[in-house]
Amino acid sequence: MDAIEAIRTRRSIRRYTHDPVPDAVVAEILKAAMSAPSAGNQQPWQFVIVTDRGLREQIPTFHPYAQMVREAPVAILVCGDLRRESFEGYWVQDCSAAAQNILLAAHAQGLGAVWVGVYPKQERVKRFQALLELPPQVIPLALIPLGVPAERVPPADRFDPSRIHYDRW
């Protein structure tokens, strides 16, 4: 799948089959994540791969929009590591770029995925830090459940020329 096709056809998938996701595919997705641009090339990201069913079952007890993580065989928690931050505050943008690459790479691999926001909701941040034993300087940004899709969501045409402004508003 070429890049434009992946961007235009990627959709949020919230239902998954019970088929496993091979470790090699997860590794390829993480390589794509780490290919994201970052401010000053600081690459402040860390990733926690959650495959343990018991852990995945606990997440929806504190995150109301993460019910689908119970079905997904894999979830990737994208985190910003403040110890790697050279330019304060840019970790959010850097890790968001990595998260988008995860979504596109998963789609290109024939998998479904969805971005589940964590940061800046401090209750969610603290619960993920406790559940997954994250160091205090590692801030979870987003959880991305992924797996073989058990639903098909058609592409949406979101292009809106009224939102484009040249040179000035």
- pLDDT tens-digit readout, 77-109: 999 999 999 999 999 999 999 999 999 999 999
With the C-alpha atoms ordered 75, 30, 78, 14, is the resulting torsion angle positive or negative? negative
Query: Could you say which of 1.20.1050.10, 3.40.109.10, 3.30.70.20, 3.40.50.460 is the CATH number of the domain covering 16-152?
Result: 3.40.109.10
Single pTM value for the model: 0.97
Per-residue model confidence as pLDDT tens digits over 68-82? 999 999 999 999 999
- State the angle between helix axes of 23-33 and 91-108 in degrees (0 to 180), rounded to the nearest 10: 140
Question: String of b and e for 51-63 (b: at least 16 CB within 10 Å)?
Answer: eeeeebebbeeeb
Residue spans per domain, the chain:
16-152
The reported pLDDT for the residue numbered 39 is 97
pLDDT of residue 1: 85
Give, for 113, the enclosing helix (H) or strand (E): strand 112-113
Instruction: Supply 132's token pair.
Output: 């997954």
User: Can you say whether the dihedral through the CA atoms of 66, 2, 159, 161 is positive or negative?
Assistant: positive
pLDDT tens per residue, the chain (169 residues)? 899 999 999 999 999 999 999 999 999 999 999 999 999 999 999 999 999 999 999 999 999 999 999 999 999 999 999 999 999 999 999 999 999 999 999 999 999 999 999 999 999 999 999 999 999 999 999 999 999 999 999 999 999 999 999 999 9
C-alpha neighbours within 13 Å on the C-beta side of residue 9: 15
Task: Give strand pairing partners of 16.
Answer: 149
